Structure 1
Amino acid sequence: MSVDLQLRFDSEAITEFSKANQEPAWFLEKRLAGLKAAGELQLPVLEKTKIDKWNIQQFVPFQASSPVASVQELDEVVKAQIDLDNVSNLLVQKNASVQFFAVTDELKQQGVIFAPLATALKEHGDLVQKYFQQVIALDEHKLTALHTAVVSGGVFLYVPKNVEVKVPLQAVYQVAGDDALVSPHVLIVAEANSKVSYVDTFVSGEGNNMVVNSIVEAFVGPGANVQVASVRTLSVDVHDYNFRRATVDRDGTMEWVLGEMNDGNTVSNNTTLLKGQASTAETKTISVGTGSQRQNLTSQVQHFGTHSESNMVSKAVMTGEAVSILNGITKIEKGAEKANGEQAENVLMLSDKARGDANPILLIDEDDVKAGHAASVGRFSEESIYYLMSRGISRQAAERLIILGFLDPVVAEIPIEEVQNRLRQALERKLG
């Protein structure tokens, strides 16, 4: 069935951008296939959320921004995300352009590839092609197809066997300007027994009708350990669609730490495929809903390997007339003996008009497993408020302490102090 597609770009614009950036032929073919699929595929079907009236495709892609010689020249909203005294191993992208990039010689000497995706396509094209869209295909739905057609920027991160990257690698993505788009693709490959942490933040400048459509693909080799932390503080003028997926081999570990702090409408899907024996996934998500925004946040783990383990924790705070749907899905496939999947979704309601749905789902096709879930939706504990007030703390301060205590265990997991601080500032702002 064909889907009405009223785009502000065409195959000619896509081809021109691809050739100007000297992309390999196979990548242009992917782009054009994505454009074609976008006209044929439906939007993803989301639990209790309709997005057909959201801004899906009304943007102008490939908007360029000038590079900077120093981080001091970056926009203030970007500089707030980084340690200005230590800008090694950092990528900054505004709309379709990389504005700043730095990587240490030490990292290169270890054989690690940390590069803008556009650079990696030129210098490591065969390696990128081996992994690109192997866990998130372009034809999954209309949003993944659109992403493929207009992907611009992102990161390629490759860690060789037995290499431990001791410092977290960072990227900052900014969308700014009317009808702007940022659509990065992050590709992480961690070979056997390697270890790496990658942290990104998404911010917005002034502008109307802006869109973010981003994808992360992670490949965790045997015994490898990958941590991905992401904080998104996009304005009410931005529609944000983000899809993350990892596949984990034997004895590998994948950890996600996610701060969904946007003011605008958000769709987030985070999925881990535990393919190997004794593979592990940890997913921690916090979100705050304010105003009239809509959020649909899904965390999912599929167990294929025996003795695999997963733990998902999602926490949301709801104010105003916001609506947040928290979906936790643990799927244990036939043959995944001795698997153990746990999940918990907790929603703290601060307004009678807000709506928070916690939906824990267990899908189990194997007998010899362990699985559990917990969900709660409620208001403050008056006993806790009374206890704090009895020690001279005002009710407002007591409520704030409880909220921050509710969310901070996830915030503390982020491995870059500046990003932690920025997330705490975002919490303070959103909670008023």
Structure 2
Amino acid sequence: MTTEVKDFKLDGESIIARSKERGEGDFIVGKKQEAIDKFDALEMPKPDKTRINRWDFFTVSSPVVNSEVYESLETLPNTVKEVVDLDVVENLYVQHNNTPAFLKVSDDLLEQGVIVENIFEASENHRELVEKYFMTDGVKIDEHKLAAYHAAMLNGGLFVYVPKNVKVPTPIQMVVLHDDENASLFNHLLLVADEGSEVTFVENYVSTVEESKEQLNIISEVIAKDNAKITYGAVDFLAAGFTGYANRRGVASNDATIDWALGLMNDSNVIYDNTTYLMGDRSNSDLKIVVVGRGDQRQNFTTKIIHYGKESNGHILKHGVMKDSATSIFNGIGQIKKGASGADAQQESRVLMLNDRARGDANPILLIDEDDVTAGHAASVGRVDPIQLFYLMSRGISQKEAERLVIHGFLAPVVKALPIESVKRQLTEVIELKVVSK
């Protein structure tokens, strides 16, 4: 059953009452009220070539699911241990459904003023910082209905702040374990790297249930101040049954860099928005995405890098594999604003279809309002190359193994870019499960 968007009304009184019962502070309660007040007047997002007017983004049976917490690394469930390098991990946050379940931060980082706290605690302990960046420069509460709904229903997430000139030597990792079919995820990540700082952040969303009955609405705001560098890696592998909206948004200032490596492996119907604003001169963003669709999934991936700064560089690389009757739309947009002289916008989208019923559309778009720039794009959609298969099979490799090697080679540019070995291993195993295994 679907819910018509035009007929849906937020129960604002229940949302605020529940927020206060959970002990959420004045800042979060105020943001939820702001979202409630604006919700009715907002439009839904309009992802190109995907009609979502009958997707049910709003049915939530259990706004908050309280789950088990973990006292030590040793007590973490195996599903979490599989994506964490236990022998070397220094900075780890685990969220169990909607419950902050485990936190480990090195003493050295704490002494340097690095903050890693769940979003609710951070809004109380570091209100000035959170208020400065939460849904201000990245994603706005009134951007559209799904952004407002996210703010109103917020039930989890993390705040990370790296002070000026602090270079975090080992990754900060967040693992969200979803093991209750009634748990919706309205997670918000706010990651701020102040001037001259460097940090690698990796997140994993993983389900152990076969199917969910709830909502996925996650937003990440990634802010790199002058001369800061953020490397952001993620693997999403959540169950079928979610109706999903995932928005990862970056803002880069002068001489700042935000590099993305994303393995988007969810089994649900999801619309994705990954936009990076290159606001500063000589700012940079390199975005790599790998996607696998199976079953009767419907997905839309809109990736955009918008150049405001002079001599800014933005590169997009997306590789997707579709099987069964899955359908995916790849919208890649490189936009150079007036005044962004010397900017370089490049993109490449390639989709591999494994059978006749699968479909992938690649739509490269360049929007250029400045003359002194460099820009280019490439796109391809097709089946596995028979010449590659013939070559491998002529060397004594079976057809199934040859297809496996071709697929892994096709997806390798993103897998190799992930910054943690355990996460690379996880993504490789997920690819095996979703694409190669019969």
Letter of the 2:52 counterpart: I
Please, which of 63, 66, 69 is the counterpart of residue 65 of structure 2? 63
**Residues 87-236 of structure 1 correspond to what in structure 2 (within 5 A)?**
87-134=89-136, 135-206=138-209, 208-236=212-240
User: How many angstroms apart in 1 are the aligned matches of 2:22 and 2:122?
Assistant: 12
CA deviations on 1:372-431 (whole Å, 9 max, x unpaired) are: 000001112221111111111111101110110111121111111111111111000001
User: How many angstroms apart in 1 are the aligned matches of 2:99 and 2:51?
Assistant: 32
Please, which of 319, 333, 340 is the counterpart of residue 323 of structure 2? 319
Give the stretch that moved more between structures: 46-55 or 256-265: 46-55
Matched with 2:415 is 411
Letter of the 1:115 counterpart: E
Task: Report the 3-state secondary structure (helix = DSSP H, G, I; strand = E; otherwise coil) of the residue aligned with 1:126.
Answer: helix
Task: Report the 3-state secondary structure (helix = DSSP H, G, I; strand = E; otherwise coil) of the residue aligned with 1:182.
Answer: coil
Whether 1:420 aligns to 2:424 is yes
Percent identical:
42
Task: Report the 3-state secondary structure (helix = DSSP H, G, I; strand = E; otherwise coil) of the residue aligned with 2:7.
Answer: coil
**Residues 227-306 of structure 1 correspond to what in structure 2 (within 5 A)?**
227-306=231-310
| Cα shift at 1:157 | 0.9
User: How many angstroms apart in 2 are the aligned matches of 1:309 and 1:208?
Assistant: 39
Contact 2:235 2:265 in 1 (8 A): yes
User: How many angstroms apart in 1 are the aligned matches of 2:378 and 2:104?
Assistant: 43
Matched with 2:44 is 43
| Cα shift at 1:246 | 1.1
User: How many angstroms apart in 2 are the aligned matches of 1:223 and 1:190?
Assistant: 9
Paired residues in the alignment total 429
Task: Report the 3-state secondary structure (helix = DSSP H, G, I; strand = E; otherwise coil) of the residue aligned with 2:6.
Answer: coil
Matched with 1:5 is 8
Letter of the 1:124 counterpart: H
CA deviations on 1:1-45 (whole Å, 9 max, x unpaired) are: x932156xx333322343344433232121022123333322210
User: How many angstroms apart in 2 are the aligned matches of 1:95 and 1:33?
Assistant: 25
Task: Report the 3-state secondary structure (helix = DSSP H, G, I; strand = E; otherwise coil) of the residue aligned with 1:146.
Answer: helix
| Cα shift at 1:227 | 1.1
| Cα shift at 1:336 | 0.5
| Cα shift at 1:154 | 1.1
CA deviations on 1:96-127 (whole Å, 9 max, x unpaired) are: 21111111111111211111112211210111
Contact 2:344 2:373 in 1 (8 A): yes
Please, which of 304, 309, 312 is the counterpart of residue 308 of structure 1? 312
Contact 1:333 1:365 in 2 (8 A): yes
User: How many angstroms apart in 1 are the aligned matches of 2:142 and 2:312?
Assistant: 29
Contact 2:114 2:162 in 1 (8 A): yes
Contact 1:44 1:142 in 2 (8 A): yes
User: How many angstroms apart in 1 are the aligned matches of 2:351 and 2:220?
Assistant: 26
Matched with 2:33 is 32
User: How many angstroms apart in 2 are the aligned matches of 1:281 and 1:178?
Assistant: 36
CA deviations on 1:266-314 (whole Å, 9 max, x unpaired) are: 1110001111111111000000111100110111011011111110000
Letter of the 2:304 counterpart: Q
User: How many angstroms apart in 2 are the aligned matches of 1:81 and 1:382?
Assistant: 35
With normalisation by structure 2, the TM-score equals: 0.94
Give the stretch that moved more between structures: 110-119 or 359-368: 110-119
Long gaps (5+) in structure 1: none
With normalisation by structure 1, the TM-score equals: 0.96
Q: 1:88 to 1:12 in 2, by over 3 A?
A: farther
Task: Report the 3-state secondary structure (helix = DSSP H, G, I; strand = E; otherwise coil) of the residue aligned with 1:245.
Answer: strand
Q: 1:86 to 1:16 in 2, by over 3 A?
A: farther
Task: Report the 3-state secondary structure (helix = DSSP H, G, I; strand = E; otherwise coil) of the residue aligned with 1:359.
Answer: strand
| Cα shift at 1:132 | 0.5
Letter of the 2:307 counterpart: H
Task: Report the 3-state secondary structure (helix = DSSP H, G, I; strand = E; otherwise coil) of the residue aligned with 2:372.
Answer: coil
Task: Report the 3-state secondary structure (helix = DSSP H, G, I; strand = E; otherwise coil) of the residue aligned with 2:280.
Answer: coil
Long gaps (5+) in structure 2: none
Letter of the 2:45 counterpart: P
Letter of the 1:345 counterpart: S
| Cα shift at 1:371 | 0.4
Task: Report the 3-state secondary structure (helix = DSSP H, G, I; strand = E; otherwise coil) of the residue aligned with 1:181.
Answer: coil
Contact 2:25 2:120 in 1 (8 A): no
CA deviations on 1:37-84 (whole Å, 9 max, x unpaired) are: 333322210111122332301112122113222344444433322233
Whether 1:361 aligns to 2:365 is yes
Give the stretch that moved more between structures: 251-260 or 107-116: 107-116
